[in-house]
Each structure stands twice: as structure tokens, then as C-alpha cells.
Amino acid sequence: MLALAALALILPAGCGGDGGGEPAGAPTGTTYRSSLSASNGEELERDADRSAEGVEGASVCTLLPARVVRRIVGRPDLRARRNDSLDLSQCRYGRGRAVVRVILDGAADATRRYFNQLSEAYQKFNTIPSLRARDVPGVGDDDTYGGVGAFWTRGRLQLVAFHAERIARVMVNVPGQTDAEAKRDAIALTKRLFARVPAARDG
């Protein structure tokens, strides 16, 4: 009986939560998502696991604040929603049918992957006018192999661009906009994004 009583006193000391804020029984390394209000009022989602926060720790929603996107596309009602993972960050700015989606890809071997995407767009969709890749100089790294650092796809309302080992995909779909206006806004957003992206890792 004395031995059992001593064991009962010892066991609670090794049990219970550690006050770390994770739900009991959750596996180690689980990413928890919480809602927060940014300074300009929009609701964002943030990862509690900071190791999975975007590209070099940067999120598109931070690099391109909603107020900037609102001004560029002329929609003051857009709200931002963040979705980040390791080496990839996505921010969706939307309201109703108006959607702007910006993806920043910082995973390894970006130069080759961008060139493959560009080559595939040329080869696979060259006979489909709405899906044909149209070169957009002056946005990305035009000196990369392939000869152009960005291309626009009218049927997707999407600009894909490459700069400093980063691939950006910017889609602008705002009711009432023409293709030229959507392309103009996507270019403006991409240039601003590239001006603020973190430096690429060495090697």
C-alpha cells in the first residue's frame, strides 16, 4: 500500500499540458490557423507554425497589402485571405465575383521550372488564341534562358513571371474589366511584389 501511494504521488508530476498553447493530444508540428484583424481592417489567416510561413518567411498578404491591391484594381471592397506553406505563399483578395489571386513560389530550381512552364505554354496552347502565351517584357528577368521573364494568358487572366529565383502567378478577374486592363493591373501588382520579395537563398 505504501508503494502504491508513493507511485500515485509521482505520476502527476510527469503528466498534463506544458502550457505551450497546443490542443491536448495534438501531434507535434501541427499547423494551427487563426484569424486576426490587420491594421487596415481585413481579416487574414496566419499560420501558428512559423516554419511554414511563405517564402523566406514572407507572405504575399504582407508584401502586397490589401490597400495596395484595392487601389491598383479599383476595387475598394476587396478583402485579403492568406494561405501559406513552406516556400509558397498565396493571397486571395476578393469580394463577390471580383477576385485577385497572387502566388509567390520560392521553391528550388525556379529558373528551370519557369522555363518549362513557358515552353509548355508555347507548345501546347499555341493554336488556341485565348490560351496562347504572350510575352511580357520588362516585368521579370528577361535575360533568363527563354528570352522573356513574364508571359500573359488571356483566357486565364493570368500573368506568370520569374525574378530572382522566384515565380509569381498573378490572376486578376474583376467584372467589367477588359483583357488589357486586367493585364495592366497584373503587371503593376507583379512589379510591386518583385520589388519587395526577400533575397533568394545562395545555392
Write out pLDDT tens, residues 168-193. Answer: 999 999 999 999 999 999 999 999 99
Q: Domain for residue 4, yes or no?
A: no
**In DSSP terms, which residues pair with 52 in a beta bridge?**
none
Q: What mean pLDDT comes out for the span 139-157?
A: 91
Beta strands 79-85 and 150-153: pairing type?
A: unpaired
pLDDT score recorded for residue 18: 34
100: pLDDT strictly greater than 70: yes
Q: Which residue has the higher pLDDT, 111 or 20?
A: 111
As for how many domains the chain has, the answer is 1
Residue 135 pLDDT grade (very low, low, confident, very high; cuts 50, 70, 90): very high
199: pLDDT strictly greater than 80: no
Q: Which residue has the higher pLDDT, 23 or 166?
A: 166
Q: How far apart are CA 84 and CA 46, in angstroms?
A: 8
Q: Domain for residue 5, yes or no?
A: no
**8 A C-beta contact, residue 193 and residue 102:** yes
Q: Domain for residue 18, yes or no?
A: no
57: pLDDT strictly greater than 90: no
Q: How far apart are CA 21 and CA 192, in angstroms?
A: 37
Longest Cα–Cα distance of the chain, Å, equals 86
Q: Domain for residue 172, yes or no?
A: yes
Q: Domain for residue 124, yes or no?
A: yes
Enclosing domain of residue 144 = 36-196
pLDDT score recorded for residue 187: 98
Q: Among 68, 97, 100, which Cα is nearest to 81's? A: 100
Average pLDDT along the chain: 79
**In DSSP terms, which residues pair with 84 in a beta bridge?**
89
Q: Domain for residue 133, yes or no?
A: yes
**In DSSP terms, which residues pair with 169 in a beta bridge?**
103, 160
**In DSSP terms, which residues pair with 100 in a beta bridge?**
93, 172
Q: How far apart are CA 203 and CA 36, in angstroms?
A: 36
Q: Domain for residue 16, yes or no?
A: no
CA count, 13 A, side-chain hemisphere, 175 = 6
**CATH no. for residue 163?**
3.40.1000
Q: Domain for residue 6, yes or no?
A: no
